[in-house]
Structures are given as structure tokens and as C-alpha cells.
Chains A and B, each alone.
Chain A
Amino acid sequence: MTTTSTSIESRHSPEPRELAADTPTSRVLGPGAFLTLVKITAARQNRGRRLLVVSALFTLPIVLGALIRRYSESYVPEVGENLLVFVMIFQALVPITALLFASGMVQDDIEEQTMTYLLIRPIPRWAIYLAKAAATFLVSFARAVLFTVLTLAVVHVGTGGDLTDLALKRVPIVLGLLALALGAYVAIFGFLSLITRRTLVIGAIYIVVFEGALAYIDFAFRNATVMYHIRVLSVRWLKIPAGYYAIDPTTAPAVSTSLIVLGSVTTVVLLLGSWIFSSREFRLKTPDGV
């Protein structure tokens, strides 16, 4: 191969020495850039079929609650709450919602080829990942809060129970549990989406096997599941009958232990995801192919 080379010294170039002198020094991420990233990711998550699917799923406990109240001859609000909120919402809908949103938090930008616009900005990659996780958490939490409060209203309002206690004590605790569960699941499934393309399939298996079956079995492994600690907190904070979950309150972890486990899992997995995101090349398709 021959390389034809002519001089480019003679070009009437401006002052490159002057340009090179002002090399970047500030690497501080401004809050404006971070919030913009959160906003863009949230706006994307709030569009499309994913949101419709989640909304449709979350209407199930509301509809079921209304049907139970309409047709049950001996309606007990506590039983309804346990079935609809702690079984349907916490055990099924919360992890599914986190999986659906978190699986796309990075992949959407890759598939739609918009990742470039984020990677070429003066934002550290770890911050891009954390902003995406934050936005995904906010979007999924907002949906979960809306539908869970509606479900609690369907279960309790008009039954003669103490609505003040419900609004000021029970609902805030339930929302706190939602935040803890969604935070952990978004971190886990976001991480999963970085290491496999089959996030939905593997995530679904994880939900059924680990968070579903293993969390029920009284064995040491259940301590490693998010659901077990959420159930422990439910039992301790909301006085949910421990027998529902095969939990023995005398041997179950203390509240502080469960909070530390959930917080640690969320933090460690988020940091791990940030590290992978920072060190990975995101090769976007171009017509060239190269």
C-alpha cells in the first residue's frame, strides 16, 4: 500500500497553540446537567407501551378490591389489604414494574441510538448511570404510589375503620416500603440490563425463583432476598400477621438489620452498575458498520 502524503504545514490554520493552551481543568458535574439527564430519562420512561403495561397491571388490585367488596358477604379489610397490597402489589407488581422500567433505562438509549448525545457531554459516565437509575426509580415509584394509595382507598374507605390512622400512619409506612423495594429492584435490574441482553427473561426468572419461592422458605438464603426484608419490615411496622410469610418474629432480623441490608444491596449494586457503565464501550450502529 502506498500512502500519498503532502504537507499540511502550509495551511492557513488559526492558532492551535492558543487552543491547546486552554486545556480543561474543571470536571465537576453541575446539578443542572444531572437534573436534565434525570428529566430526559424520566420523559422517555413515561412514554411508550411500558407505561401502559404497568398502568394496566396496577389497575388489577383496584378492580379486584372493588369486586371483593361488592360480592364478599364477610368482607374483612385486613384480609383484603394483605391480598391486594402485600401479595399482589409488593410481591408481584413492584418487582415487575422495576424490571420493566429498569430493563430499558440504558438499553433504550442504545437501541434508539441516542446514547451518543449523553456520552459526548462533560458528564462522568457514573453520573449518567446514576441519573438514569434515579429517573427510573422516580417514574416507577410515582406509578406505584398512585395505584397503591388507590388500592388502599378501595380496601379501607367506607368500612368504618380509622381513616386518620390509615392516612397518617399506615399509608406513609406502605409508601416507605415501596420506596425501599423499588430502590433495590431498580438497582438490581438496572445492573442486570448491563450484563445481559435478556434482562426481561432473566429478571422474570429471578422474581419467581428468588423473590417469590426462596423468600418464603425458612432457610438462610431468604436473607439475601429483597422481598424477605420487606416482609420483615411489614410485620414489624404494620403488624401484618407473621404467619402469612412463614416468618418467626423472634428469629427474624431486627428493623435496623433489614434496613441496612436493603440500603447496602441498593448502594453496592448501583455502584457496581456505575462502574460497569463507566468502563464499557457503547458501540452504536452506523450505516458504515465500522
Chain B
Amino acid sequence: MTDPVVEFLGASKWYGNVIGLNNLSLRLPAGVTGLLGPNGSGKSTLLQLATGQLRPSQGGVRVLGEQPWNNPGLNRFIGLCPEQDAFFEWMTGREFLTNCALLSGLGRKGARNATDRVLEMVGMTEHAGRAVRGYSKGMRQRIKLAQALVHEPRILFLDEPFTGTDPLARRDLMDIVIDYGRKGRAVLLASHVFHEVQSVTRDIVLLNRGRLVAQGDVRRIRDLIDSHPHRIVLKSPAVRVLAASLAIREDVVGIEFKQPGMIVVETRRPDAFYSQLADPKLQALAPIDEVYSDDDSMEAVFKYLVTT
């Protein structure tokens, strides 16, 4: 195996009596790696340890060969797209990114150029002059990813970067992640949605309850997951039209009207289902505002994995 870019050496993290990460040993080389796990599995804890926000309770963490806790010099090479939907809301998108670039040590001119570059990359140049507080969820996710890229880090940590995005934004953001990995950088993408991860990489790490469950090629995990119906939540203003359009598909095995404007679709072929969502005809018929995976099916797979 090639030298690891990120390494966990029997690392544990607990918060009082709650275990966030349990004796995790992991070596991640460059390229894109997917970090999969249900809510509470320790993905965010892992990312916060790797980015030096938390200190391991036991064991060690190495990023580019250095321990990340209280190591600001290392942060020049690290980019993090955090999960929380938080910003300096009063700033415009451009101000936010320029400030992030300045905080990363870029000079004024460099920060301006870097801001223009990442705005273009995430497709936000047109909206850069608007205050972040007025952005849609998809725009906020794009800007959040941009701030992680603004100083061209060599390792990119992404925590649920596609949550709440519409299908088009999701595709755009995935392409950015794939391109970044192709440029020789390391990307660790944390998500609880298997098919998001599968769309950007074949190499995955599975976590559950703070433990490493599986690591390796996506196909092995996929075989396990495909035996379970996958539940996908869709939000749309024309939810009944959308349901009618989807009901005729053979891979759809169930549709549940959960709340006004929201349905949960069960499918046995999530790949095909996701790719069909970006279809312009479907979008014209019933625009989809938000797509995300219901946690239950993932949880079922994890239960299966940890009990076999």
C-alpha cells in the first residue's frame, strides 16, 4: 500500500460516557475515499479529529505525517466542508470566500483571484454579490464547498456536502469532487447516503457506532445494500404528480406520502432511480426541491454487516 495521507492509529474519542470513535485504525491514501455510516456512526468525529478540531482521547491521528491537533501549519494543506449549515450570514458569498482565503494566509490579490476561481468552479459567480442569508440550500452548499477549496488544499474533508441539494446541484458538486481527486489530491467524503458516495468513488470506509465495519471496494458493499429496498425522500411542490410519474417505474416498490410536499420512495435500483431524477422531462412535470436518502435502509445494512 502506498504511504497514507491520513492515518488513524487505534484512535478513540469519547465525550464523557459517549463513545464517538472506538479504537479506529485506518490508513487512507490519496484519491477519493468515501466515508459511509448512519447518523451517529462517528463520521463527523473522525473528520474533526483529522482536521485538528478535536484531540483523540486515546491513540493517534496523522495527517501528512503530522498530528493535526493544535497544528495550525498543517491547516494550510487541509480543506474542510463542515456539515453544519452555518455561515457569517451578513456577508455576501464573495466576501465570505475572500475572508476565508485571507484567513488561509493568501494575500489580498491572491484572495481575490482565488475567490473568482472557486466561484466559477462551483457555479456561483452570478450570485456572488448576494448575502449568504438569502441563498437557497443548494447555493449554501456550493459556497460551503468553495470555502474548503479556496486555498487549494491537498486534502479535502467533506462532511455530507450534498445534503439538501437539488439533483442538478448534486451532480455539479459531485463532478467537482471527482475532478479534485483526479488532480492528485486526497478527498475524504463523509455521507450516510451510499449512492452519493458510490457516484464519486469506488473506495469506501464503513463506520458504525464509532467502529470500522468495512473498508474496500464499493462493489462488495453494494451487493449487500442492493438486497435491501432503498428509501429516498423527495420534496416537491407537485408531489402527487411526481408520485404518479414514479409509480409506473418497475424498480419503485413503494411510495409513501409522509408530509405535505414530501414523499418517500422505495426502490430496489437506487442507481437508476437517482439518475432518472435529473431528467428534464420529470423536472418540468414536477420540480424536485430536495432529495435525500432515508436512513433506515442504510441502518439495515449496517445491522447486517455488524451481525454477520
Contact = CB atoms under 8 A, between A and B. Distances in A.
A8 B26 CA distance: 11
Contacts of A25: 73
Nearest to B205: A8
A11 B29 CA distance: 9
B125 to A, nearest CB: 21
A24 interface: yes
Contact of A125 (B48, B70, B87, B217): B70
Contacts, number: 198
A44 interface: yes
B31 A12 contact: yes
B102 A282 contact: no
B298 to A, nearest CB: 13
20 contacts: A1-B211, A1-B306, A4-B213, A4-B214, A4-B220, A7-B217, A13-B2, A13-B31, A17-B2, A20-B65, A24-B77, A26-B76, A27-B73, A33-B104, A40-B99, A113-B84, A114-B87, A120-B52, A283-B15, A283-B48
A281 interface: yes
Interface in B146-191: 147, 154-155, 159, 183-186
A120 B80 contact: yes
A220 interface: no
* Most chain B Cβ neighbours within 10 Å, of A19, A27, A39, A124: A19
Nearest to A32: B102
A19 B215 contact: no
B44 A122 contact: no
Interface residues of B, number: 78
Interface string B64-106: 1110001011111111101110111010000000011011111
Contacts of A287: 39, 83
A117 B31 CA distance: 24
B81 to A, nearest CB: 10
A15 interface: yes
B203 A288 contact: no
Interface of B: 1-5, 15, 18, 20, 29-31, 39-45, 48, 51-55, 64-66, 70, 72-80, 82-84, 86-88, 90, 99-100, 102-108, 111, 147, 154-155, 159, 183-186, 202-203, 206, 210-217, 220-221, 305-306, 308
A19 B212 contact: no
Contact of A6 (B29, B39, B99, B216): B216
Contact of B72 (A4, A7, A16, A27): A27
Given A3-B214, A8-B1, A117 B30 contact: no
A4 B211 CA distance: 12
